[in-house]
A and B are shown apart, each in its own frame.
Chain A
């Protein structure tokens, strides 16, 4: 832990602000209240919280679930822009690398939207304006008519080359999975490229955090593939950089959930993911399993941010927790809209 940072990173300032915003995240009590409300009540409740400015700004244009949804996306973008605004030096570099994840999200949103022939305004609403993609690129993306066109538009970006490579697979199978996977893999490949984890202070913790994320993503991908029952080889969808599994190993573990759970429990993630693993063993559904994995990752992120208080970890853990909160509120609002019961909605939430 560097008390005097050598690289002009302002860890203490950023972390103090992040901690404060972290404390403002919803807890069990708020979720409990929210699951009992109708969509317009949710919007009113959120007006009293730190989503207030967004709800007020959008309140005249939208109502109900739409209002909640747009306010959530805007709030997310505002928070992440703030992070970049505050940070300096290596810290800025690391956060901006990580926030490219929203470029990946936007690229995937465009692909999915165009694939399912969604209207361009709907696609636009789902973009999160927090990454490197500029307004103009996003506008061009939402106006594309075909998936091939999206790939072409993205040519100049980080994802260009790998999307081109995956295009053949897409044309062969007609499924978006190869393209989406190409986006994810490019993102993770670039995340760690050019970072010297052994010598540079600050990046060490960053790498640790990301290795955990990659590990969890690998597990999730493998299980999805196994569930879908397709002929796809899990090794093709393996993301490099994790510490827990090798590509070939993962394929064999997928068939055997007990072994995988045992493996996770014995790993470095064991202490934090313990409770989540219990859910893992008891639930049969894939969604329950994925939610338990998400919660486990959140727990581990939280642990890392306590072990390395003056590092990039608390910031990244906040990004994860904030995203999770936004997903949760969205799930509640959507769930109430279609009339799911409280228990059903609670099952959809990811909580620590």
Chain B
């Protein structure tokens, strides 16, 4: 994620100078940050797929696992929350 921010930061002034007027380059920054959120959400989804399958398996055997299964399933969600922070960083 940090590399991505660095990449956006590095490329933005470049685009700014050469190609684009000021108001457009700001939009590109936010757009790329939003893309970052999307990619992070995709990664979280993939991770949750495996964990969710395992959690459902465990709950099927013993319903006491429900709480802890739910907790583990949504843990990768923190990735997305961290990715949203990026939007505020570039704004």
**List of B residues within 8 angstroms of A10 by Cβ:** 53
Q: B1 on the interface (CB 8 Å rule)? A: no
Q: Which of B47, B57, B61, B62 lies at the interface centre, i.e. has the most chain A CB atoms within 10 A of its CB?
A: B57
Give the docked Cα–Cα distance between A185 and B49 (Å).
Answer: 40
Q: In chain B between 41 and 67, which residues have their CB closer than 8 angstroms to a CB of chain A?
A: 46-47, 49-51, 53-58, 60-62
Q: A3 on the interface (CB 8 Å rule)? A: yes
**List of B residues within 8 angstroms of A12 by Cβ:** 50-51, 53-54, 57
- Shortest CB-to-CB span from A186 to chain B, Å, is 34
- Shortest CB-to-CB span from A285 to chain B, Å, is 39
- Shortest CB-to-CB span from B39 to chain A, Å, is 15
- Shortest CB-to-CB span from B47 to chain A, Å, is 8
Q: Which of B46, B47, B49, B53 touches A16 (beta carbons < 8 Å)? A: B53
Give the docked Cα–Cα distance between A3 and B43 (Å).
Answer: 12
- Shortest CB-to-CB span from A175 to chain B, Å, is 45
- Shortest CB-to-CB span from A318 to chain B, Å, is 12
**List of A residues within 8 angstroms of B55 by Cβ:** 16
Q: In chain B between 14 and 60, which residues have their CB closer than 8 angstroms to a CB of chain A?
A: 46-47, 49-51, 53-58, 60
Q: Would you call the interface of chain A mostly helix, strand, loop, or mixed? A: helix
B46 engages A20 (CB within 8 Å): no
A16 engages B54 (CB within 8 Å): yes
| Proximity string of chain A (84-126) to chain B, C-beta cutoff 8 Å, 1 when within and 0 when not | 0010000000000000000000000000000000000000000
Q: How many residues of A contact B (CB 8 A)?
A: 14
Q: How many residues of B contact A (CB 8 A)?
A: 14
Give the docked Cα–Cα distance between A21 and B47 (Å).
Answer: 24
- Shortest CB-to-CB span from A322 to chain B, Å, is 14
| Proximity string of chain A (1-26) to chain B, C-beta cutoff 8 Å, 1 when within and 0 when not | 00110000010111111011100000
Chain B residue, CB-CB nearest to A4 = B46
Chain B residue, CB-CB nearest to A2 = B50
Give the docked Cα–Cα distance between A15 and B50 (Å).
Answer: 11
- Shortest CB-to-CB span from A24 to chain B, Å, is 8
Q: Which of B46, B50, B51, B58 touches A17 (beta carbons < 8 Å)? A: B58
- Shortest CB-to-CB span from B76 to chain A, Å, is 12
Give the docked Cα–Cα distance between A13 and B49 (Å).
Answer: 10
A13 engages B61 (CB within 8 Å): no
Known: A20-B61, A20-B62, A21-B61. A15 touches B54 (CB 8 A): yes
- Shortest CB-to-CB span from A95 to chain B, Å, is 15
Give the docked Cα–Cα distance between A123 and B58 (Å).
Answer: 37
Q: In chain A between 268 and 288, which residues have their CB closer than 8 angstroms to a CB of chain B?
A: none
Give the docked Cα–Cα distance between A16 and B56 (Å).
Answer: 8
A13 engages B54 (CB within 8 Å): yes
Give the docked Cα–Cα distance between A211 and B24 (Å).
Answer: 63
What are 14 A-B interface contacts by the 8 Å CB criterion? A3-B50, A4-B49, A4-B50, A13-B53, A13-B54, A14-B57, A16-B54, A16-B55, A16-B56, A16-B57, A16-B61, A17-B57, A20-B57, A310-B50
Lowest 3 A-B CB distances belong to which pairs? A16-B57, A20-B61, A16-B54
Supplied contacts A12-B51, A13-B53, A86-B57, 14 more A-B pairs, CB within 8 Å: A3-B46, A4-B46, A4-B50, A10-B53, A12-B50, A12-B53, A12-B54, A13-B54, A15-B57, A16-B56, A16-B61, A20-B57, A20-B58, A310-B50
